[in-house]
Structure 1
Amino acid sequence: MSEPLYKSRTAYYEILEVSPTATQAQIKTAYYKQSFIYHPDKNAGSEEATNRFSNISEAYNVLGNKGLRKKYDRGILSQGDVTGASKPSTKDTKSSSSQPTREARQSSALGIDSKNIFDFDNFIKSHYKSQLLREEELRVRKEEMMRKKEAIKDRELGKMMEMAVGVLVVMAVSILVNLKQGGN
């Protein structure tokens, strides 16, 4: 069995494909890029993509939190820090109990937390709207260009056909003229 990610000093950076000197903005951008590629809704049925997405989420939960990132960089991050990173703070919970529920323990053991279960369409639209619009415009332009190319080919073919018919008519007329002249 391999070493847990939180024990490595570079694993989270490698997962998000950023350097250890990356800014919070660069980490966030890398997270969105990676999560877009490996999101389970986009890769239905792919266990590899699901595992990769879970690792990406874990890496972002640690590197996106300044305190946890400092602990990670110093090599003192614990499993409790990692599992606690995705849970809401006690200020945000209505329950005064500090014990996690059975469901929360099970979902964290599976690498799933309630924050990572969300509407993928909404996520894509909010983070990649301009990119999706550009891709749609590009697709429309390509289709329009293909239609124009086909129209040009059709016109050229029509002109060639007209020329061929014209040449045949000229040949037929010249043959008829030759036959008439030969018959006289």
Structure 2
Amino acid sequence: RLGTIVMSYFTIKVLMRLRVTGYYELLEVLPSATQAQIKTAYYKQSFAYHPDRNAGSGEATVRFSEISEAYSVLGNKALRKKYDRGLLSLSDLTATVRPSSRDGGGASAKQPTGGRRSPLSSDIRGGRFDFDTFFKSHYSEQLQRQRDTRVRQEELRKKKEEPMVEKRLGVTMEMCGGLVLVMAIILIISLKRIQHRFILS
């Protein structure tokens, strides 16, 4: 009985999400978007919100999960049609989804039996999507370029700061030298006056 209650709660929760969650809004595309545009939007969104780029951010983790769920539906032609018609069911969501490689969507929610594999299908492990493998395979080079860019920017910043620090140090030394010279002149003048008064007396 407890298991039935838990399943009922889970089912209601998922169905409520289907009603209130706009998959197109999550991927930031229009309902008229092509499968290629949806795929591009998914790559962009998943890269921006991937946990590896947002360590410790629970909000980013949730967003990444929602984006992946949205693409699992919109990236499949059959599921997208069901979603657009309001016919998407819980079983559709829990089934393994593999969009085709040609247009980002398959003819059905079932696993394709032939043809080229999609970028997503190569990362499926045991019926579940391996997000880390997918992320690394698609964005490792881009992340490395970003890291290299940050390193170069930091080096340039340090190089720009070094002349400024040296210039400030030079100005400070000049001011100190000038102050010492002025004090020495004042001291000499004072000593001469004292000596002159002593001679007169």
Code of the residue aligned with 2:114 in structure 1: it is: K
Show the counterpart of 2:114: 91
Offset from partner CA, 1:45-73 (integer Å, 9 cap, x none): 66554333222111122233445434322
Distance 1:29 1:90, change over 3 A: closer
Code of the residue aligned with 1:85 in structure 2: it is: V
- 2:66 aligned counterpart, secondary structure: helix
* Counterpart mapping for 1:61-100 below 5 A: 61-82=72-93, 83-86=95-98, 88-91=111-114
Q: Indicate if the aligned counterparts of 1:32 and 1:127 stay in contact, CA closer than 8 A.
A: no
Higher-Rg member (1/2): 2
Larger RCO of the pair (alpha carbons < 8 Å, separation 6+) = 1
Q: Specify which of 172, 175, 184 is matched with residue 157 of structure 1.
A: 172
How many positions carry a matched residue from both structures? 166
Question: Structure 1: 5+ residue runs without aligned partners?
Answer: 93-102, 105-112
Show the counterpart of 1:175: 190
> Structure 1 runs of 4+ off > 6 angstroms?
none
Offset from partner CA, 1:28-58 (integer Å, 9 cap, x none): 4443343234323445566554333222111
Q: Work out the percentage of aligned pairs sharing the same amino acid.
A: 40
Q: Specify which of 38, 60, 66 is matched with residue 71 of structure 2.
A: 60
Matching of residue 31 in structure 1 with residue 46 in structure 2? no
> TM-score w.r.t. structure 2 length?
0.61
**Offset at residue 164 of structure 1 (A):** 1.3
Question: Structure 2: 5+ residue runs without aligned partners?
Answer: 1-11, 99-109, 116-125
Q: 1:35 and 1:17 mapped to 2: Cα distance?
A: 12
**Offset at residue 174 of structure 1 (A):** 1.6
Q: 1:115 and 1:10 mapped to 2: Cα distance?
A: 23
> TM-score w.r.t. structure 1 length?
0.65
Q: 1:147 and 1:14 mapped to 2: Cα distance?
A: 48
Offset from partner CA, 1:122-168 (integer Å, 9 cap, x none): 54333455544443333322232233332222122112111111211
Q: Specify which of 3, 13, 35 is matched with residue 24 of structure 2.
A: 13
Code of the residue aligned with 1:34 in structure 2: it is: Q
- 1:161 aligned counterpart, secondary structure: helix
